[in-house]
């Protein structure tokens, strides 16, 4: 065999190895008669209704123009840049709101053979009304039970929620205390489920403080997750945290890696495994879950407790099932820069003026294997 042929064969083997591993794992799981449950996290980008909620209306942009014309003063004047433009010009009507609900529902249900994930964690929700409308109009008929939601603090009032096909045994809202910085942020939502009336599973929906906030705000959020993870560990219950962590791999010090998570299921110094980093060499397109200033990043992540890697555990993580949902309709083609003609595909974020698109984030999904033998 020539050197070129050998090198080609080697590269083909290296490229195919992750696929072979994934296939062998899937075949193994299927042959043993085990079943899987699916989880999704999705930042739905500013899901606001078109109703004025008085003092609870934190973002005045998302109201009908007929409502804005009643103002005795320009309430948008305090906003700057794009937010001022949005507040001044957007006519956010009930019809537009309901269309965005339908767009989000389409994405949620376009997974797991068009039935949706068993547990869905959502971020950037204005209030309980929007998640309840999403459920009642689009998801209740697909097996989802009443959503789990608590009002969160935060200057724009954006919340997290959980929707599940499993009944919840307990729901808790954990405050991320930023009072020493004179700030507030959304809570972390924990839900506890009983799988197949046998096995407890705890999950947490996250939307950590934005990258515009100081790094120590995300360390505060990490401390809350560490506490929840430790409590689950003491109780002998597996735990999964998902959502938008607003943390970059290159952040130093890092609120996630080396602090609450790593890639070694056998290392007990930190309680969680960061699935994105665990699979880093296996992930291809898309290059992340969010695209900003010409770069992909993994703001949206899955962190799992290490007992989910134990073979004897009745609930086991399938790390190779982790997926960034990459349906064609979720992308929009744009020029990479103003000077060049090369184009790239990025998340098709929602256009509130033209009523098209989905979100500036892509959903993430993963599977748990349930062993009932």
pLDDT digits over 320-337, tens only?
999 999 999 999 998 776
Report d(CA 222, CA 208) in Å as an integer. Answer: 9
The dihedral built from the CA positions of residue 94, 95, 100 and 102, taken in this order, carries a sign that is positive
Q: Flag whether pLDDT at 124 surpasses 50.
A: yes
pTM of structure: 0.90
The pLDDT, as a whole number, for residue 22 is 46
Instruction: Give the three-class secondary structure for 369.
Output: strand
The pLDDT, as a whole number, for residue 34 is 87
Report d(CA 33, CA 159) in Å as an integer. Answer: 38
What CATH class has 35-48+94-370? alpha beta
For the chain, give me the number of helices (H) and strands (E)?
7, 17
Q: Flag whether pLDDT at 147 surpasses 50.
A: yes
CA distances from 217 to 4, 179, 182, 252 (A): 52, 10, 11, 14
Report d(CA 358, CA 104) in Å as an integer. Answer: 7
Q: Flag whether pLDDT at 267 surpasses 60.
A: yes
* Closest C-alpha to 189, from 125, 257, 139: 125
Mean pLDDT, the chain, integer:
90
Give the distance, in angstroms, between the CA of residue 247 and the centroid of all CA atoms in the same chain: 13
CA distances from 302 to 79, 107, 128, 282 (A): 34, 19, 24, 15
* Per-domain residue ranges of the chain: 1-31, 35-48+94-370, 51-92
* 177 or 34, higher pLDDT: 177
Report d(CA 207, CA 34) in Å as an integer. Answer: 32
* Closest C-alpha to 183, from 191, 175, 171: 175
């Amino acid at each position: 065999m020539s050197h070129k042929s050998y090198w080609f064969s080697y590269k083909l083997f290296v490229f195919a190895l992750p696929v072979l591993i994934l296939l062998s794992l899937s075949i193994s799981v299927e042959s043993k008669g085990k079943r899987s449950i699916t989880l999704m996290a999705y930042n739905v980008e500013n899901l606001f209704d078109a109703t004025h909620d008085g003092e609870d209306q934190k973002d005045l942009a998302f109201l009908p123009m007929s409502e804005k014309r009643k103002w005795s003063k320009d309430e948008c004047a305090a906003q700057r840049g794009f937010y001022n433009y949005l507040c001044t010009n957007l006519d956010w009507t009930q019809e537009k709101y309901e269309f965005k609900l339908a767009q989000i529902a389409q994405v949620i249900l376009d997974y797991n053979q068009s039935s949706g994930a068993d547990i869905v964690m959502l971020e950037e929700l204005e209030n309980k009304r929007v998640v309840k409308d999403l459920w009642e109009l689009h998801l209740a008929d697909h097996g989802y039970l009443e959503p789990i939601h608590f009002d969160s603090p935060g200057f724009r009032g954006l919340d997290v929620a959980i929707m599940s096909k499993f009944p919840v045994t307990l729901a808790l809202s954990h405050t991320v205390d930023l009072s020493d910085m004179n700030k507030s942020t959304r809570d972390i939502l924990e839900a506890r489920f009983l799988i197949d009336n046998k096995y407890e599973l705890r999950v947490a929906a996250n939307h950590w403080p934005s990258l515009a906030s100081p790094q120590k705000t995300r360390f505060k959020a990490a401390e809350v997750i560490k506490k929840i993870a430790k409590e689950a560990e003491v109780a002998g219950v597996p735990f999964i945290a998902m959502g938008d962590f607003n943390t970059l791999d290159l952040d130093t010090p890092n609120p996630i890696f080396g602090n609450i998570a790593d890639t070694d299921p056998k290392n007990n110094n930190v309680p969680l495994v960061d699935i994105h980093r665990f699979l880093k060499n296996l992930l291809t397109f898309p290059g992340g879950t969010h695209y900003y200033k010409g770069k992909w990043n993994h703001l949206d992540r899955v962190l799992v407790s290490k007992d989910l890697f134990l073979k004897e555990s009745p609930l086991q993580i399938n790390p190779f099932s982790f997926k960034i949902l990459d349906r064609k309709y979720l992308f929009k083609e744009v020029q990479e820069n103003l000077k060049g003609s090369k184009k790239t595909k990025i998340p098709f974020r929602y256009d509130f003026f033209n009523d098209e698109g989905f979100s500036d984030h892509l959903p993430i999904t993963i599977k748990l294997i349930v062993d009932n033998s």
